[in-house]
Chains A and B, each alone.
Chain A
Amino acid sequence: MFSLVDTVPAIRLAGLRKSFGPVTAVDGIDLEIADGEFFAMLGPSGSGKTTVLRMIAGFEQPTAGAVELAGADVTRSAPFQRDVTTVFQDYALFPHLTVRQNVEYGLAVRGKGRTERRELATAALASVRMEAFADRRPTQLSGGQRQRVALARALVVKPRVLLLDEPLGALDLKLRQQMQVELKQLQRDAGITFVFVTHDQEEALTMSDRIAVFDHGRIAQIGTPTAVYEQPQTEFVAGFVGTSTVLDRSASEGVLGRSGTFMIRPERIRLTPAGEASARDERHRTGTIAEVVYLGATTKYLIDLSSGHRITASEPNAGSVRQRGDRVQITIRPEDAVPLE
Chain B
Amino acid sequence: MRTVSARSRLSSWLTRTPRARLALLLSAPLLWLGLAYIGALAALLITALWSTNAFTGQIERVWTLDNIRIVLTDPVYRAVTFRTIGVAVLVTLIDAALALPVAFFMAKVASPRWRPLLVAAILLPLWASYLVKAYAWRSMFGGGGLIDWLGAPFGITSPGYGLTATVCTLAYLWFPYMVLPIFAGLDRLPGSLLEAAGDLGARPGRILRTVVLPMVFPAVVAGSIFTFSLTLGDYVAVEIVGGTKQFLGNLVYDNIGAASNQPLAAAVGLVPVVVMIVYLSLSRRAGALEHL
A106 to B215, CA, bound (A): 18
Identify which of A80, A93, A95 contacts B201 (C-beta below 8 A): A80
B202 contacts A80, C-beta separation under 8 Å: yes
B198 contacts A96, C-beta separation under 8 Å: no
User: Does any Cβ of A come within 8 Å of B6's Cβ?
Assistant: no
B197 contacts A105, C-beta separation under 8 Å: yes
Report A57 CB to chain B, min CB distance, Å. 6
A153 contacts B214, C-beta separation under 8 Å: no
B195 contacts A110, C-beta separation under 8 Å: no
In chain A between 85 and 126, which residues have their CB closer than 8 angstroms to a CB of chain B? 85-86, 88-90, 92-96, 105-106, 109-110
* Given known A-B contacts A85-B200, A109-B201, A79 and B214 have beta carbons under 8 A apart: no
User: Does any Cβ of A come within 8 Å of B203's Cβ?
Assistant: yes
User: Does any Cβ of B come within 8 Å of A157's Cβ?
Assistant: yes
In chain A between 278 and 324, which residues have their CB closer than 8 angstroms to a CB of chain B? none
Interface residues on B, range: 10 to 19
In chain B between 167 and 214, which residues have their CB closer than 8 angstroms to a CB of chain A? 190, 192-193, 195-203, 206, 210-211, 214
A86 contacts B201, C-beta separation under 8 Å: no
Identify which of B192, B199, B203, B215 contacts A96 (C-beta below 8 A): B215
* Given known A-B contacts A96-B214, A96-B215, A109-B206, A153 and B192 have beta carbons under 8 A apart: no
User: Does any Cβ of B come within 8 Å of A84's Cβ?
Assistant: yes
Q: In the complex, what residues of A have CB within 8 A of residue B190's CB?
A: 90, 92
A29 to B211, CA, bound (A): 34
Interface residues on A, range: 20 to 34
* Given known A-B contacts A95-B215, A96-B215, A90 and B192 have beta carbons under 8 A apart: yes
A78 contacts B198, C-beta separation under 8 Å: yes
A88 to B210, CA, bound (A): 19
Q: In the complex, what residues of A have CB within 8 A of residue B196's CB?
A: 86, 88, 92-94
* Given known A-B contacts A95-B215, A96-B215, A80 and B195 have beta carbons under 8 A apart: no
* Centre residue among A85, A90, A96, A157 by max chain B CB count within 10 A: A96
Identify which of A79, A93, A157 contacts B195 (C-beta below 8 A): A79
In chain B between 67 and 115, which residues have their CB closer than 8 angstroms to a CB of chain A? none
B198 contacts A80, C-beta separation under 8 Å: yes
A58 to B200, CA, bound (A): 12
B193 contacts A153, C-beta separation under 8 Å: no
Report A137 CB to chain B, min CB distance, Å. 13
User: Does any Cβ of B come within 8 Å of A236's Cβ?
Assistant: no
* Given known A-B contacts A94-B193, A96-B214, A96-B215, A105 and B200 have beta carbons under 8 A apart: yes
Q: In the complex, what residues of A have CB within 8 A of residue B197's CB?
A: 94, 105
* Given known A-B contacts A59-B195, A90-B190, A92-B196, A80 and B215 have beta carbons under 8 A apart: no
Identify which of A92, A154, A157 contacts B193 (C-beta below 8 A): A92
B203 contacts A88, C-beta separation under 8 Å: no
B211 contacts A94, C-beta separation under 8 Å: yes
Report A144 CB to chain B, min CB distance, Å. 18
Q: In the complex, what residues of A have CB within 8 A of residue B199's CB?
A: 57-59, 79-80, 84-86, 154
Report A54 CB to chain B, min CB distance, Å. 9
Report B219 CB to chain A, min CB distance, Å. 13
Identify which of B193, B201, B211 contacts A110 (C-beta below 8 A): B201
The residue of chain B having its C-beta at the shortest distance from the C-beta of A163 within the complex is B199
Q: In the complex, what residues of A have CB within 8 A of residue B198's CB?
A: 58-59, 78-80
Report B247 CB to chain A, min CB distance, Å. 37
* Centre residue among B197, B206, B214 by max chain A CB count within 10 A: B197
Q: In the complex, what residues of A have CB within 8 A of residue B203's CB?
A: 80
A92 to B215, CA, bound (A): 13
A31 to B190, CA, bound (A): 31
Q: A-contacting residues of B (Cβ < 8 Å)? A: 190, 192-193, 195-203, 206, 210-211, 214-215
With A59-B199, A85-B200, A95-B215 already in contact, 15 other A-B pairs whose C-beta atoms are closer than 8 Å: A57-B195, A59-B198, A80-B199, A85-B199, A92-B196, A93-B196, A94-B215, A105-B200, A106-B200, A106-B201, A109-B201, A109-B202, A109-B206, A153-B200, A157-B201
Report the 8 A-B pairs with minimum CB-CB distance, sorted nearest first: A106-B200, A92-B192, A92-B196, A79-B198, A109-B201, A86-B199, A88-B192, A96-B214
